[in-house]
Amino acid sequence: MPDPRTTWKGVFPAVTTQFREDLTVDLDATGRVIEALIADGVSGLVMCGTVGENCALTGPEKAALMELAAGIARGRLPVIAGIAEYTAAFAIETARQAARAGVDGLMVLPPMVYPAKPRETLAHFRAVASAGDLPVMIYNNPPAYRSDVTPAMLASLADVDTIVAVKESSGDTRRFVDLRNLTGGRFIPFCGLDDVVLECAALGAVGWVSGMSNIFPREGEALFGLARAGRFAEAMALYDWFMPLLHLDARPDLVQCIKLCEAIAGRGSERTRPPRLALDGAERAEIEVLMARALATRPVLPGLEPARAA
């Protein structure tokens, strides 16, 4: 298995799950989404994450989506599977399904049953990460999931060899510095919130799990690459153009927003599973205006070496 310290870098879109009209999973359509992202040069894929509607999927559906992505990727780029379950036992079973599906790693969320105490959260991560050999990315998103994995908590997991990376979605970019001061380079730092990505890259993030890069993957890779290269004047021009859409990733209805943008761009369907319902009224009109403006003013991108080829 490739070393994640050399392959987990660049932009990893949190891939959407495509559904048919009857709300069954459409593997063919999801496969086309994956193939288009790979063709556009993304550095990795996250399947069955928040944007992939993990908690609305059955176990067999998750396994099928993981197998699909691994089969299409064929080792050309890393495929990471989201693990968002109510208990450690359920999470371990899903992690084992992911290993059988051939993915390259896991993105593990805190236990989803309730806002766990720190020691409960840590016990969950230890149990899941120790149950197999796949490398693990810890996913911290307290605004969405109400459990906060602080830098000090992460530092206490440094003895778990399979935990190799952290996706930080709190919006507090200081945590990249705090974690580095506590653990040095022990964990691979990933930005997990679109509208602070330049700041995260400037503070040391080497990867970005992105929602809006589903719609604009080339722009996402360019923005992140410029920031990582310290070309901030060029990055700021692209960031200014991208920011109105990047803010959508920080909303509670980010999945509906991202899928509507996908549909407008011709990259997928906006259909979501309940309880998520399609946007309507003023919310829908707002995003249609944002997308029309973004498409009309799409910038010319500078030359950059793709992250996965570097």
Strand order in the sheet with 188-191: 10-13, 207-210, 188-191, 163-168, 136-140, 105-108, 79-83, 45-47
Rounded to the nearest integer, the mean pLDDT of the chain is 96
At residue 121, the pLDDT reads 97
For residue 305, pLDDT beyond 70: no
144: tokens are: 């969405």
How far is residue 105's CA from residue 69's CA, in Å, rounded to a whole number?
Answer: 12
Contact 22, 125 (CB under 8 A): no
For residue 94, pLDDT beyond 80: yes
> Which residues, 6+ apart, have CB-to-CB distance to 19 below 8 Å?
25, 26, 269, 271, 272, 273
Sort residue 41 into left (φ over 0), alpha (ψ -120 to 50) or beta.
left
Contact 136, 105 (CB under 8 A): yes
For residue 65, pLDDT beyond 90: yes
At residue 309, the pLDDT reads 47
For residue 215, pLDDT beyond 50: yes
Using 50, 70 and 90 to split pLDDT, how confident is the model at 13? very high
Q: Which residues are catalytic?
A: 139, 167
Q: Does domain 4-232 have CATH number 3.20.20.70?
A: yes
At 83, phi and psi to the nearest 5? -120, 105
Using 50, 70 and 90 to split pLDDT, how confident is the model at 310? very low
Tell me the average pLDDT across 264-278. 97
For residue 249, pLDDT beyond 70: yes
Does the CA dihedral 72-217-42-192 come out positive or negative? Answer: negative
Q: Percentage of the chain surpassing pLDDT 90? A: 93
Q: Which residues of 24-63 are buried (b: 16+ CB within 10 A; e: fewer)?
A: ebbbebbbebbeebbebbbbbbbbbbbbbbbebbeeebbb
Contact 110, 147 (CB under 8 A): yes
For residue 222, pLDDT beyond 90: yes
82: tokens are: 């989201």
How far is residue 97's CA from residue 63's CA, in Å, rounded to a whole number?
Answer: 6
How far is residue 50's CA from residue 150's CA, in Å, rounded to a whole number?
Answer: 20
For residue 306, pLDDT beyond 60: no
For residue 307, pLDDT beyond 60: no
Using 50, 70 and 90 to split pLDDT, how confident is the model at 36? very high
> Which residues, 6+ apart, have CB-to-CB distance to 228 below 8 Å?
201, 206, 307
How far is residue 122's CA from residue 93's CA, in Å, rounded to a whole number?
Answer: 18
Tell me the average pLDDT across 5-17. 97
Tell me the average pLDDT across 41-51. 98
Tell me the average pLDDT across 245-259. 97
pLDDT tens for residues 136-176?
A: 999 999 988 889 999 999 999 999 999 999 999 999 999 99
Using 50, 70 and 90 to split pLDDT, how confident is the model at 308? low
Contact 150, 179 (CB under 8 A): no
Tell me the average pLDDT across 86-93. 97
Q: In terms of pTM, does the model score above 0.85?
A: yes
3-class DSSP assignment, residue 12: strand
